[in-house]
Amino acid sequence: MSVEPVKLSVIFYSATGNVTALAKQIAESAEKAGAEVRLRRVTELAPQAAIDSNPAWAENVKAIADIPEATSEDVTWADAVIMGSPTRYGNVAAQLKQFIDTLGPQWFQGLLKDKVYSGFAAASGKHGGNESTLLALYNSFHHFGGIIVAPGYANETLFANASPYGVSHWNGYDIDEQTLAGATAQAERVVATATALKAGRAALAL
């Protein structure tokens, strides 16, 4: 019995580019693992003056301009969704939170349930809020009726990344190879789990 490839949406918000880098790594790794992937950014809400006050932020806005903006259809289309956000005072950035808040009609219709969900984050300091940001994100996934696939310490690469909640970048500088490897391992874990679920559902439908 052949099963169609897993459909995976990587949906993210990034200000200065660290989450962008993780999102691209996750999307590329998921594609190599056999998934059909959509990479999507959420709408920027900050005023232009705020963006222009930080050169890295302004540069990232230009760099991701060609990435399509996320819509609710990118979630309903997918078998698995991986969302990413920089931490904002230990919580999800407003830009990603607003996107999640627009999914009310899809939630009401039961279109968000039974999908695989996972998350990733970035902060400027080691204890700057990555874990609480991911836990807040996962609270929303619980309300969706989603199946959360966190990396845990499932293999040596994920153990080395040291975050059981989701791959996290924290030093504010260029992302190191260990973190990128963690992003790849998390993407592979999500694709493998979603593939198994899809195959099981197909078998039950026979």
Domain boundaries along the sequence of the chain: 7-205
Strands 36-41 and 91-92: unpaired
- pLDDT attached to residue 53: 95
Whether pLDDT at 1 is above 70: no
Determine the average pLDDT of the residues in 141-147: 98
Tokens of 168: 């996290």
Mean pLDDT of the chain: 93
Task: Average the pLDDT over 154-170 and give the result.
Answer: 82
Q: Please determine, for residue 171, whether its predicted confidence score (pLDDT) is greater than 80.
A: no
Whether the predicted pLDDT of 158 surpasses 90: no
- Is the pLDDT score of 118 beyond 90? yes
Topology, domain 7-205: Rossmann fold (3.40.50)
Facing residues of 38 across strands?
A: 9
Name the residue among 17, 15, 65, 11 with its Cα closest to residue 38: 11
Residues 6+ apart with CB under 8 A from 107: 143, 144
183: pLDDT strictly greater than 80: yes
Confidence of residue 170 (pLDDT cuts 50, 70, 90): confident
Which residue did the predictor score with more confidence, 127 or 63?
63
Strand ranges, E, within the chain: 7-12, 36-41, 80-88, 91-92, 116-122, 147-148, 168-169
| Averaged pLDDT, 185-201 | 95
3-state helix, strand, coil in the chain (%, to 5): 45, 15, 35
Distances, alpha carbon 133 to alpha carbons 51, 96, 108, in Å: 22, 11, 25
Which of the four pLDDT bands, split at 50, 70 and 90, describes residue 98? very high
Per residue in 20-29, pLDDT (tens digit) is 999 999 999 9
DSSP state at residue 69: B
Q: How far apart are CA 88 and CA 130, in angstroms?
A: 9
